[in-house]
Amino acid sequence: MASEAQQPPPLHLAELTAAQFMDIWKHFDADGNGFIEGKELENFFQELERARQGAGMDPSHAAFKEKMKEFMSKFDKNADGRIEMSELAQILPTEENFLLCFREFVRSSAEFMTAWRKYDTDRSGYIESNELKGFLSDLLKKANRNYDDKKLNEYTKTILLMFDLNGDGKLGLSEMARLLPVQENFLLKFEGIRLSVKEFDSLFTFYDKDGNGSIDEQELDALLKDLCDKNRMDVDSTGLGDYKKSIMALSDGGKLYRTELEIVLCRDSML
């Protein structure tokens, strides 16, 4: 149980503001790794039960474990045993739910990548705060949501606080990807196998047969298959096709240049 000084934010509100949602997230994602998992998850579920039932349950009790299992089967959409931000947005109703509103706007990874390409105008692999404001403004217009400049600034600030894991005032592709629907999220699936610059260079050089600094769709197909096989990733042909389509959304006229692929596959990009 948290001490009086560290009481968790209220989980019983009918509708949370974006800022309250963020307070809750930061409280329970204690290690800041972008997931509520392990002991954090137990604490979160305990507080949620207390808020909903007016009484907590002992986590060591069998009934607690059973209820938590039911809860996870409902909300842990990708069944990875932890709760991520887009899943929490389904659990806690947020004011004008702008997180879910974002997900209506980008229903697939390919749409997300197309939007990313539009707003990452300098191809830096990041969306700066001013680019993010334009991104959110477009999103709210598309979803027919009314907003004023003050609200837009609040949303921009909130998204940065939520997703800017390293606090550099801008969002990297993998940080922004946490907003995507999990079952669609090829970016997070690739997160665990991202390459070093050296590994990426040798891989890209191998597939860029003519050495012109770009690869086409067929070469990307072979590259992704090899990458999945090497890392024993169990991806069916449909999944692989979706990944390829999403990455190709970054391409320029069917050609994928080194910097564009590096954003997706490199863990320590030099961009």
- Number of domains making up the chain: 3
Task: Clarify whether residues 254 and 220 are in a common domain.
Answer: yes
| 245 located within any domain | yes
- Is there a contact between 256 and 210 (Cβ–Cβ < 8 Å)? no
Structure confidence at residue 106 (pLDDT): 62
Task: Clarify whether residues 80 and 124 are in a common domain.
Answer: no
Task: Clarify whether residues 16 and 83 are in a common domain.
Answer: yes
d(CA 182, CA 168): 25
| 110 located within any domain | no
Task: Clarify whether residues 251 and 224 are in a common domain.
Answer: yes
Strand, coil or helix: 11: coil
Q: How confident is the model at residue 12 (pLDDT cuts 50, 70, 90)?
A: low
**Pick the residue with more confidence: 21 or 201?**
201
- Is there a contact between 250 and 109 (Cβ–Cβ < 8 Å)? no
CA atoms within 13 A on the CB side of 217: 12
- What are the Cα distances from residue 122, in Å, to 12, 82, 98, 164? 43, 35, 26, 19
| 32 located within any domain | yes
**Rounded to an integer, what is the distance from CA 235 to the centroid of its chain?**
19
47-77 pLDDT per residue, tens: 888 877 666 667 778 888 888 898 898 888 7
The parent domain of residue 123 ranges over 96-104+118-179
CATH code, domain carrying 70:
1.10.238.10
| 113 located within any domain | no
End-to-end distance of the chain based on CA atoms, in angstroms? Answer: 44
Residue 35 is inside which H or E element, if any? strand 35-36
Average pLDDT, the chain: 76
Q: Where are the beta strands (DSSP E) in the chain?
A: 35-36, 83-84, 126-128, 170-172, 214-215, 256-257
